[in-house]
């Protein structure tokens, strides 16, 4: 079971208008500050936060109970004037967990009125999340002929294809910066990595590597996925034939 917590700023649209038109810098500062704080709080609880369109945050929150979420809300209240709601969902696949969280909030299934928490906490002992860490092989060589903006355009086209491909497999893809992407997946979902790599190789001539990690918490899964990705690089750099997908187990 994968548990997802989606954090959203309450009434953000109308509130932004109250700042007047000279607001963009303030909004960017607020969004970046929120992201820093959330990544700090959740990583201390062994979770990773995934940035969604800069003003919404997805957390693979396996292992966190309602009390943890209340504690997080209390700490955010002390630091920010704006308030966030948290919607929680859990399911066998990340996409379904995301739908459950969404429906929990839409149907006002309250877990805590006071702290604006909605949805469903995973109460079963079955908690496991798989992370696929994708990275472009040798992006540096493209930088020799392409300008920074042209590189970004390639990366965002790739992100768009990845998002579509993995949503069809009930998994959620996020851009992590540079040429890095992470997909929140179920353990069965990892078999899709190879197919995606082949598709992108054929359609766009881009070579990707993918490290896979599974853990009881997202931080544990991400650690293993990144270690697996780094292992692909080590194999490649030692002159041996590298695997495109690699999975280290703890
Ligand atoms: N989010 C994230 N970004 C990273 C990580 N490692 C590197 N980056 C970013 O990705 C960019 C590209 O770095 P690399 O992927 O190492 O460069 P490369 O030439 O593609 O090298 P290989 O991936 O080893 O083939 C860097 O400039 C960083 O911005 C990581 O683990 N996570
Ligand atoms: Mg790379």
Structural class in CATH, domain 129-247? alpha beta
Q: Which ligand is nearest to the CA of 181?
A: 1
Residues of the chain with CATH 3.30.70.1230: 2-119
CATH 3.40.50.2020 fits 2-119, yes or no: no
pLDDT at 19: 95
Q: Which atom of ligand 1 is nearest to the CA of 209?
A: 23
User: 213, 207 in Cβ contact below 8 A?
Assistant: no
- E-assigned strands of the chain? 2-9, 48-52, 56-60, 84-91, 110-112, 117-119, 129-136, 172-177, 180-185, 208-215, 245-247
pLDDT at 250: 78
Q: Which ligand is nearest to the CA of 230?
A: 1
> Splitting the chain (250 residues) into consecutive groups of 10 residues, what average pLDDT does each group show?
96 95 97 98 98 95 97 97 96 97 98 98 91 97 95 97 98 98 93 97 98 97 98 97 94
Handedness of CA 183, 184, 187, 192 (dihedral sign): negative
Say how many CA atoms lie within 13 Å of 113 toward its Cβ: 0
| Residue 242 DSSP class | P
Residues of the chain with CATH 3.30.70.270: 129-247
pLDDT at 189: 87
Residues touching ligand 1 (Cβ under 6 Å) are 135-140, 176-180, 226, 233
Q: What is the pTM of this model?
A: 0.96
């Amino acid at each position: 079971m994968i548990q997802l917590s989606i954090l959203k700023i309450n009434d953000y649209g109308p509130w932004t208008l109250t700042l007047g038109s000279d607001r963009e810098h303030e909004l960017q500062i607020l969004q970046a500050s929120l992201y820093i704080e959330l990544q700090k709080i959740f990583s201390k609880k062994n979770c990773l936060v995934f940035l969604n369109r800069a003003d919404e945050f997805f957390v693979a929150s396996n292992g966190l109970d309602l009390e943890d979420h209340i504690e997080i809300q209390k700490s955010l209240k002390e630091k920010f004037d704006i308030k966030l709601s948290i919607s929680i969902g859990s399911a066998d696949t990340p996409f379904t967990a995301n739908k459950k969280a969404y429906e929990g909030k839409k149907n006002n299934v309250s877990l805590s009125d006071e702290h604006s928490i909605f949805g469903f906490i995973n109460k079963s002992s079955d908690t496991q999340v798989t992370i696929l860490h994708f990275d472009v092989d040798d992006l540096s060589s493209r930088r020799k002929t392409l300008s920074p903006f042209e590189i970004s355009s390639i990366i965002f086209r790739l992100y768009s294809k990845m998002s579509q491909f993995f949503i069809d497999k009930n998994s959620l893809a996020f851009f992590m910066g540079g040429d890095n992407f992470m997909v929140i997946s179920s353990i069965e979902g990892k078999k899709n990595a190879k197919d995606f790599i082949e598709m992108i190789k054929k359609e766009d001539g881009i070579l990707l590597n993918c490290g896979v990690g599974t853990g009881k918490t997202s931080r544990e899964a991400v650690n293993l996925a990144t270690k697996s990705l780094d292992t692909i690089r080590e194999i490649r750099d030692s002159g041996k034939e590298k695997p495109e997908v690699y999975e280290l187990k703890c």
